[in-house]
Amino acid sequence: MNRAAVAIDQLGRTVLEYVEEMGKIALLFLSVLRWMFQPPLKSHLIFKQMEFVGNKSIFVVVLTGAFTGMVMALQGYYGFKMFSAESMVGSVVALGMTRELGPVLTSLMVTARAGSAMAAELGTMRVTEQIDALSVMAANPVKHLIVPRVIAGVLMLPLLTVVSDFMGILGGYFVGVHLLHINSGIFVKNITTIVDLDDLYNGLVKAAVFGLILSLIGCYKGFNTRGGAEGVGKATTEAVVLSSITILISDYFLTAIMF
Amino acid sequence: MFSISSEAKVGIFVLIGLIILAYMSFQVGQRGFGLKKGYSVDVFFNNVAGLERDASVQIAGVEIGRVESIALKDGKALVTLRIGKDIKLARDVKAAIKTHGILGDKYIELVPGKDEEIYIHEGGRIINVESQADLDRLLNQLAFIADDIKKVTGALSSVLAGDEGEASIKDILENSRQLTRNLNTVVKSNEATLRAVLENTRQLTENLNNVVTKNDEKMAQTIENLRGASEQMEKTFASLNDITESIKKGEGTAGRLIKDKDMAVKLDQAIDSLRDVTDKINQGKGTIGKLINDEETVNNLNEGLTGLSRYINKAEQFRTFLSYRGEYLFDSSEAKNYLDIKIQPKQDKFYIVGLVSDPQGKKTIRDTTVAGVTTRTEEWDRDGLLFNAQIGKRYKDIVIRGGLLESTGGVGLDYFALNDKLKFTFEAFDFSADEKTHLKAAAEYQLFKHLYLSFGWDDFISDKGQESPYAGISIRFEDDDLKYLLTTTPIPK
Amino acid sequence: MIELIDIHKSFKKNKVLNGLNLKIDSGLITVIIGRSGGGKSVLLKHIIGLLKPDRGRVLIDDTDITRLNDRDLNTIRKKFGMLFQEAALFDSMTVKENVAFPLREHAKMSEVEISRVVAEKLKSVGLTGIEDKMPSELSGGMRKRVGLARAIALQPEIVLFDEPTTGLDPVMTEAINQLIVDTQKNLNATCVVISHDLESIFKISHKIAMLYDGDIIEYGTPDEIRASKNPVIEQFLSGSIEGPIKII
């Protein structure tokens, strides 16, 4: 076989592997759905994960949100200044945060923080046979381990996004009004006229979808870890990469559908 | 150590998140709240280009409602407004689409009516609509004017700012200086004479005074004459104003005029002749005078413009479609191709001319008489092209057409459904006596904007075994260039 | 009774179990011996349904568990207890929560009862007062004993041990061996043990099964195994390099 053929063969295999992986993730999602509606729900496990995904991500989300808003205000200011439309800065920051940057950046941060942790945790449980132990004790691992994480992801991401949106707008307000001396009344008024409820809510729907994606992929990668400590590391990296890519790609399609 | 459970921590976070969400929702959605309760009012516009849903509805710049929906109805834009419940609109309120801001956001301005007896209620309609000012045209005109102004100032600056200009100004000043010095010398050297002159003048005015008092009445008449003269002057100036318009355009001329040494003389002459001209114009003499003063001219111009706009309207209405259709006949495994141009001068009327390549080919019937015996031979020319030339008229969802169908006389009937996306067709042609009529039935569905799929049954009562189901695909698009090309040729009405 | 019939299992191209047949008698301690990486753990995981064979049947009390759905398999699994190689305690839970886990899952007990049972089980493996420790704070031997306490919490009929004594000092090894024997006696359970430790094997086992090349080549009492003329077993027991078992 010549080199080209090998390359094509390799490409085909890679594509097939990805497709297979997507299929497996989809199947995992179905089984999560199935177990989600089988009582009893492990509420303490869910709350534990919600605390992990939500509360413990607040700091990083506040930080990224605020600074993103500030940077947007600064950049937008120089752009709008050319048209003497500095007062539009607020609406651009608000629209950008609610529609796009809030959900996406929050999800990426949570992926890095919690998605990777999910993969590492489940990966460790897999290689130390804790997942087998669960099965042996007639406790379904999907129900005990994955369902709480996915629920936490889907519920907490929108909330974190709300915080991120708010902090972003606050950051933009700070830079715009206090540093760049844009009239505060006009700044706020432009936000409220241009931003719609739909912008806000669609951003939150996006965030929920991203929460599903990152928790599902994190769990999938961890759950299917092979090969000891090295395997755990690999699973963690793959989870972050695959989640981030999937979030960005699905963001495009969600945006296309929603707006 | 006191520790808070996960549940409590999550609860606090959720609470904070929801509060922020509620706050933001309220801020952003504020205007949506009270307004939902208001009432809705319809208004028809000819053109709402640029108007968006949720655009502002204002009276005197105060927002009193929002545009709830925009829809097309009977070729006009039906805009539904939601008006705050505290606002009462008189029946003769006037609506207009206005633009504000440099970004050109459109909003609806309502001018309150005077008829305060009757108010518009829920579901009512605003009848007075101010047609939209054509901003583009206005801007265009402004641009032209700005251009003219630039030319004039350019010419002036080239005259005054150049070295030459500076030199001539210097000359003028130098001359004035010398003149005043000379005057001074004259005055000094002739002091005695001047004094005498002044004395004479004094006596003269005294005399004059005597004359005036004696001839009061005559004086009044003179003054009256003077007034008449000044009135005449005023008219002249008005005419001059008109003329300067044209001078503005004559960039070079004005410049030259100012620079020229004989300026004064020439200007004088020019003004004289101008006055002659303007007088004449004012009196309606000459062609231009007639043009300007004649009512008829204005009427003619108006008619001309109306005609032009009608012509443009016709072009808008006039539509041309090009289409290609391929039909694959399953039974004979052959394809039939159609290339048509459809010309639609009016919404409900069209002409089709086209070519058909039929695998069956073109039938030629030839009678040959050999030794008194006439033999009729039918020849099928497989490369032959058939022709389509039809005229059609549409009544609502039904189209009746007739003419040449595949080079034989025939008629066709189309029925449209699903907003014209689906078309059922029935055609009958080739009524020649010696074989059964060619009948064809088909359904066509618009898959994408320009792409159609069709299925049908061709020649289904054929006595030659030519009946066949078929599947077809067609591409159809409207040709704008062709349209404008064709509108320059006379259009049958 | 546990019965494995014609079990085939391979991972990718590596054939691990090749038409294996084994009948494990109830109420006895059966030790499965064999080479490292020879498929003993795989065999154990088949018994409890963690792995499904490519071909063949696994009968637990005459029920073929390879064909069961999740719900029925879980019913069968409640009969089992399993001690994993590294104990597989849940890192995120305390010792008490670990041992209580099967109780909370399957037995409807009050918290008081659970505390009592947990203490009792921990005591039976020789541990007291460590309920609130995390697994990471325990030594290897203690972790194994906690794991055993968790495995026997629901009074299982069958207890599986995956290399229970590997990596322990001789004293702890002896202690664990004694626990296996006691557990079997107390619960009257069927015990399946995987081990390399020859001394322990002959001390605790009622039956020994030798797994070699994907199949059970010898199954019998310790004395029968010791007397076997099978060259593979002779080499395995003597621990010599020469023989049919190739060192790769």
Where do the domains of chain C lie? 80-155
Q: Identify whether residues B90 and B158 lie together within a single domain.
A: no
Q: Say if B467 falls within a structural domain.
A: yes
Tell me how close the Cα of A220 comes to any Cα of chain B, in angstroms: 25
Question: Coil, strand, or helix at residue B441?
Answer: strand
C89 interface with A at CB cutoff 8 Å: yes
Order of all β-strands in the sheet with B62-73? B124-126, B39-45, B76-83, B62-73, B56-59, B105-111, B94-100, B128-130
Q: Say if B291 falls within a structural domain.
A: no
pLDDT of residue C187: 83
Is the pLDDT score of B402 beyond 60?
A: yes
Residues contacting residue B347 through CB under 8 Å, at least 6 positions apart: B317, B394
B17 CB neighbours in chain A (<8 A) are 159-160, 162-163
Cα A233 to Cα A222: distance, rounded to the nearest angstrom: 10
Instruction: Provide the pLDDT confidence category of residue B147 given band limits of 50, 70 and 90.
Output: confident
| DSSP 8-state code for residue B419 | T
Query: Comparing C-alpha atoms, which of A232, A31, A5, A11 is closest to residue A117?
Result: A232
Q: Identify whether residues B117 and B152 lie together within a single domain.
A: no
Q: Identify whether residues B128 and B164 lie together within a single domain.
A: no
Q: Identify whether residues B58 and B203 lie together within a single domain.
A: no
Tell me the HSE value of B376 on the side-chain side, using a 13 A CA sphere: 4
Query: Distance of CA C150 to CAs A132, B20, B207, C132, Å?
Result: 14, 46, 144, 15
Q: How many CB pairs under 8 A join A and B?
A: 61
Query: Distance of CA C34 to CAs B284, C28, C210, C223, Å?
Result: 127, 19, 6, 17
Read off the pLDDT of each residue in C201-205 and give the average, rounded to a whole number.
85
Contact A200 B10 (CB under 8 A): no
Q: Identify whether residues B148 and B95 lie together within a single domain.
A: no
pLDDT digits (tens, 9 = 90+) for B101-133: 656 677 888 888 777 777 887 888 888 887 655
Contact A200 B25 (CB under 8 A): yes
Cα C223 to Cα C208: distance, rounded to the nearest angstrom: 9
Residue B170 token pair: 């210097």
Q: How many CB pairs under 8 A join A and C?
A: 50
Residues contacting residue B29 through CB under 8 Å, at least 6 positions apart: A196, A197
Q: Say if A68 falls within a structural domain.
A: yes
Q: Identify whether residues B419 and B384 lie together within a single domain.
A: yes
pLDDT of residue A243: 92
CATH of the domain at B410: 2.40.128
**Partners of residue B335 on adjacent β-strands:** B328
Name the percent of chain C lying above pLDDT 90: 0
ipTM of this predicted structure: 0.85
pLDDT digits (tens, 9 = 90+) for A96-129: 899 889 999 999 999 999 999 999 999 999 998 8
Tell me how close the Cα of C231 comes to any Cα of chain A, in angstroms: 34
Number of domains in chain A: 1
Cα B489 to Cα B491: distance, rounded to the nearest angstrom: 6
Which residues constitute the domain of residue B185? 143-214
Which residues constitute the domain of residue A112? 42-258
Number of domains in chain B: 3
Q: Identify whether residues B338 and B410 lie together within a single domain.
A: yes
Contact A135 C50 (CB under 8 A): yes
| DSSP 8-state code for residue A178 | I
Contact A129 C89 (CB under 8 A): no
Burial classification of residue B205, based on how many CB atoms lie within 10 Å of its CB (0-12 exposed, 13-18 middle, 19 or more buried): exposed
Q: Chain C interface, mutation test: which of A35, A130, A232, most C Cβ atoms within 10 Å?
A: A130
Q: Say if B10 falls within a structural domain.
A: no
Domain-terminating residue out of B182, B214, B246: B214
Query: Distance of CA A183 to CAs A87, A178, A189, B329, Å?
Result: 7, 9, 10, 72
Q: Say if B262 falls within a structural domain.
A: no
Cα A127 to Cα A225: distance, rounded to the nearest angstrom: 7
A160 CB neighbours in chain B (<8 A) are 17
Cα C200 to Cα B107: distance, rounded to the nearest angstrom: 91
Per-residue confidence in pLDDT tens, chain A, 259 aa: 578 888 888 888 888 888 888 888 988 998 888 888 877 777 888 898 999 998 889 999 999 999 999 999 999 888 888 887 777 888 889 988 998 899 999 999 999 999 999 999 999 999 988 998 988 888 888 888 999 999 999 999 999 999 999 999 999 999 988 888 888 888 888 888 788 888 888 899 999 999 999 999 999 999 999 888 899 999 999 999 999 999 999 999 888 887 7
